Chains A and B, each alone.
Chain A
Amino acid sequence: MTKDKMMDKEKIRVSDISGKNGQMVELDPSRFLPLLSPYDTLELEPRISPLTAEQKIKYECDLDGISAIMLPRPKTEREKRTLVDKFLSGLTKLFDKEDNWTFIQPLLLTMEYCAKCQTCSKACPIFTQSGGIEIYRPTYRSEILRKLYKKYIKPGGRAISRMTGEDIDVNWEMIARLAELSYRCTICRRCAQVCPMGVDNGLVTHELRKIFSQEMGINIRQLHELGSSQQLLKGSSTGMTPAAFKDNIEFMENEVKERTGLEFKWPIDKAGADILLYHNAGEFLAWPENPEAFAVILDAAGISYTLSSDLLGYDGVNYGVWYDDIQMARVALKHIEIAKKLGVKKIVIGECGHSHKALAVIADRILTGDFIIPRESSLTLLADIVRSGRLNLDKSRNEDIFVTLHDPCNMVRLMGIVEPQREILRAVAPGFREMTPHGVDNYCCGGGSGFAIIDNANFPDWRHAVAGRMKLRQILDVFRDVISPEHKKYVCAPCSNCKGQFREMFVAYGIFERCNILYGGLAELIVNAMPNLKKPFFDWEWR
């Protein structure tokens, strides 16, 4: 591929994925869609660092110069051939109803019925905000899998593919690029929502990642080794052990007492409680004010609940939901087993979007018998508590903060949980204003599908500049009239991974310093509106 073609988004074709001429696309930030004031000049935007010369030699990066996976380049042609064979073996299993009973039906529908109308492309924030870079188009990735499906899976595929002009060259270069390409989509599923056929390009991303992980053992260290595997081994994807968890709880109990004057013991391993509450363990470490707020609320409302100190019992994450059905199932079943052991009536999932997806939705199709324990969103529970009047709330305590709501994709679009969080915000935040669009039409924070915790090479730069671009645009837009730093502004994000993305992205752009915009959860705002607290529940400072 010539440098001209590399730069010219007009000329990239699906077949170019198999090219042997090095990097396909050179990212040019001047072509990204512009942000809003005060970031309407390129100078204020963070740089996308190039990979070092050593990284380029060592790792596959011939898609767009970004490395999410840090996939080592094979050293010999024989190695490449072995990998190609493994990929094709995984492809076959992906389309086998015995091997892929989990998602075969929607996958086949997606393969067969795409009308190639590009309605999905118009909805994709990564594609549109990048200025229309072809490889980020939802159908670009799906069309590669579709061509592979038609050539290798459908009867007479090789001949028919050639006849219909749908052939694709399979080589290691294609596979390596496809592996990286499967980590250029946050699986927000706006594409699936707008598709007139019901085709799901977000699912294609998920299924591609499965070939790499489940067949080839290629996955992202933060998601697998340090993620789901670490969670299964040590109890949490953060590495936090049960003993460390208990220490954290003690620390947070003291912090709550210091801040609010309220003294209570967190219920841990309380058999027979009504609710087992699962937080994302990252909250205990990075944003303890969120689980603390939950504890204050549930205590004040007289809710019977417990946390668990069992391995996995204090960490509701399930990274497998992004890339590996087996890991997902292992973690989900452990979560349910703990609930069963405690004899709770229901599981409530804290402010974590992908936990909602994993436990409330996907896990529903691996549970049987007495493992079918009801799972509920904390947003629904909190709204019920606020509505019931069990809490004494004074929303004027939040009146000096302009608040907007970031809707986590897995809660709104996947699960249809749209109104409870709004009902709460209307009750506790007089300065609440909606982003456009919002609700089920929301835009992803840019940290979805594990992006928020992938910090390999220059991937975070890409995540801030491209994946999170639309969301940043929305935030700047919703606070446009109060953007100057004398106004306090809060992005309410009831999801740990979204908060992780905001934390990193706001640092990259200097958002707090320049615009005085903070991010945080929903529970904290509720507690901040409780008049019996002597001082604000959270400090207005960067965290």
Chain B
Amino acid sequence: MPNGKKRGKYGGSYFEEIDWWTKPSNHSFFLELREMMKEILLIKTLYRHNRSLWIFSFPLHLGLYLLIGFGFLLIVGGILILSGLSVIQNSANILSKSVYYLTIAFAVSGSMLGIIGASGLFVRRAFDRELRLFSAWTDYFNLLLLLAISACLLAGWATSDGSLDLLRAYTAALISIGQAPVMPGILQITLGLVSFFFLYFPFTHMSHFIGKYFAFHKVRWDDRASAAGNKIEAGVKEALSKKLNWSGSHVKAGMTWKQATTDFNPKAEDDKR
């Protein structure tokens, strides 16, 4: 569990305290959140331990966050349009003006970083023997998909939708289930890729952000001890009532865990052998 300034610096835990169970818990939601933010925003562990991969992974992830922000801004812009406001460059409304500029900033920077990150990781995976040996075609495909989305969005912005009005209007139409504007080919491709992405990514490794939360919170950091009456103890009681099903002769299949571990008679087992 991320600890405070003192122990956190070297990775110490409450086990360093004499009679630790009598001391107040060192858990801090703030520290946990801070560490998670460092992981999410800065990919901290990869930076520390694999810098050469981080230089592409970081821009890819930052690009994705910016593109998610871009999507959110499109929704806000769409809502503003549906409310009768114009989201234009010289709008008198501060919110509309901010949304206008931020949408472009997020879209352009996000897609540029996505291109750098995805193409860099693709090249690393394709040409680094260590990575190549363990990569399936799906790993390359996922990176190419992200590269294609970023590149098509950037190309669409540059050639057809410099103010992103078309995409904003499309979003407004989605929200109001209205008539969408006619989109140029490049933006149709972008939208198609994005739609495919949303259907596809839950079944792929790209959904690792969910797993990472649990891997860090429930596995790496969870150092809460069991205590009489707490949830952990209740879970253990239930688990010990499960029946053993393993076939090893020493296991005693058919007994519950509690029976097989506490009623186990090693002498009787030895005599049988």
Q: Is B a genuine binding partner of A? A: yes
Binary interface profile of A, 203-229, with partner B (CB < 8 Å = 1, else 0)? 000000000011111000000100001
Binary interface profile of A, 189-206, with partner B (CB < 8 Å = 1, else 0)? 000101111111000000
B264 touches A232 (CB 8 A): yes
Chain-B contact segment, one of A70-78, A257-265, A377-385: A377-385
Contacting residue for B237 out of A10, A93, A368, CB 8 A: A368
The smallest C-beta distance from B214 to any residue of chain A, in angstroms, reads 6
A101 touches B242 (CB 8 A): yes
A116 touches B134 (CB 8 A): yes
A224 surroundings in chain B (CB, below 8 A): 250
* Contact residues of B between 128 and 153, Cβ < 8 Å to A: 129-131, 133-139
B11 touches A418 (CB 8 A): yes
The smallest C-beta distance from A201 to any residue of chain B, in angstroms, reads 12
**Known contacts A166-B136, A197-B208, A217-B249; is A192 also within 8 Å of B220 by CB?**
yes
Which chain A residue shows the least CB distance to B270? A233
Is A326 an interface residue when CB atoms closer than 8 A count as contact? yes
Contacting residue for B53 out of A119, A232, A370, CB 8 A: A119
B261 touches A199 (CB 8 A): no
B49 touches A194 (CB 8 A): yes
A485 surroundings in chain B (CB, below 8 A): none
Chain-A contact segment, one of B79-87, B171-179, B226-234: B226-234
Among B39, B53, B245, B267: residue with most chain A CB under 10 A: B245
B50 touches A105 (CB 8 A): no
Among B12, B138, B262: residue with most chain A CB under 10 A: B12
CA distance A102 to B261 in the complex (A): 14
A121 touches B18 (CB 8 A): no
CA distance A224 to B249 in the complex (A): 12
* Contact residues of A between 76 and 128, Cβ < 8 Å to B: 86, 89-90, 93, 96, 98-99, 101-102, 105-106, 109-110, 112-119, 121-123
Binary interface profile of B, 149-165, with partner A (CB < 8 Å = 1, else 0)? 00000000000000000
A contacts with B, residue count (CB < 8 A): 83
Contacting residue for B16 out of A96, A324, A419, CB 8 A: A419
**Known contacts A86-B247, A326-B251, A330-B264; is A113 also within 8 Å of B16 by CB?**
no
Which chain A residue shows the least CB distance to B47? A196
B215 surroundings in chain A (CB, below 8 A): 106, 109-110, 113, 197-199
B contacts with A, residue count (CB < 8 A): 74
A232 surroundings in chain B (CB, below 8 A): 264, 266
Contacting residue for A164 out of B45, B136, B247, B250, CB 8 A: B136
CA distance A46 to B173 in the complex (A): 75
B53 surroundings in chain A (CB, below 8 A): 117, 119
B228 touches A233 (CB 8 A): no
CA distance A366 to B257 in the complex (A): 10
Which chain B residue shows the least CB distance to A102? B239
Is A143 an interface residue when CB atoms closer than 8 A count as contact? yes
CA distance A327 to B252 in the complex (A): 11
B10 touches A418 (CB 8 A): yes
A440 surroundings in chain B (CB, below 8 A): 10-11
CA distance A116 to B204 in the complex (A): 14
Which chain A residue shows the least CB distance to B244? A326
Is A300 an interface residue when CB atoms closer than 8 A count as contact? no
B236 touches A116 (CB 8 A): no
CA distance A115 to B204 in the complex (A): 11
B13 touches A415 (CB 8 A): yes
Is B182 an interface residue when CB atoms closer than 8 A count as contact? no
A197 touches B15 (CB 8 A): no
| 21 A-B interface contacts by CB (under 8 A) | A14-B133, A98-B245, A122-B50, A164-B136, A164-B138, A196-B39, A198-B214, A198-B215, A233-B267, A326-B244, A364-B226, A365-B239, A366-B236, A366-B261, A374-B21, A380-B16, A380-B17, A416-B3, A416-B13, A416-B16, A419-B16
The interface of chain A, by Cβ under 8 A from chain B, is: 10, 13-14, 86, 89-90, 93, 96, 98-99, 101-102, 105-106, 109-110, 112-119, 121-123, 134, 139, 143, 164-166, 192, 194-200, 213-217, 224, 229, 232-233, 324, 326-327, 329-330, 333, 346, 360, 364-370, 372, 374, 376-377, 380-381, 383-384, 412-413, 415-420, 439-440
The interface of chain B, by Cβ under 8 A from chain A, is: 3, 7, 10-21, 39, 43, 45-46, 48-50, 53, 57, 129-131, 133-139, 205, 208, 211-212, 214-216, 218-220, 223, 225-228, 232-233, 236-237, 239-240, 242-252, 257, 260-262, 264, 266-267, 269-270
Chain A to chain B: the 10 pairs with minimum beta-carbon distance, closest first: A198-B215, A416-B13, A440-B11, A113-B211, A232-B266, A194-B49, A214-B246, A119-B50, A196-B46, A233-B266
Other A-B pairs beyond A369-B233, A370-B228, 17, CB < 8 Å: A117-B46, A119-B45, A119-B46, A166-B136, A196-B50, A198-B215, A198-B216, A326-B251, A326-B260, A333-B262, A365-B226, A365-B232, A368-B237, A380-B15, A384-B18, A416-B15, A419-B12
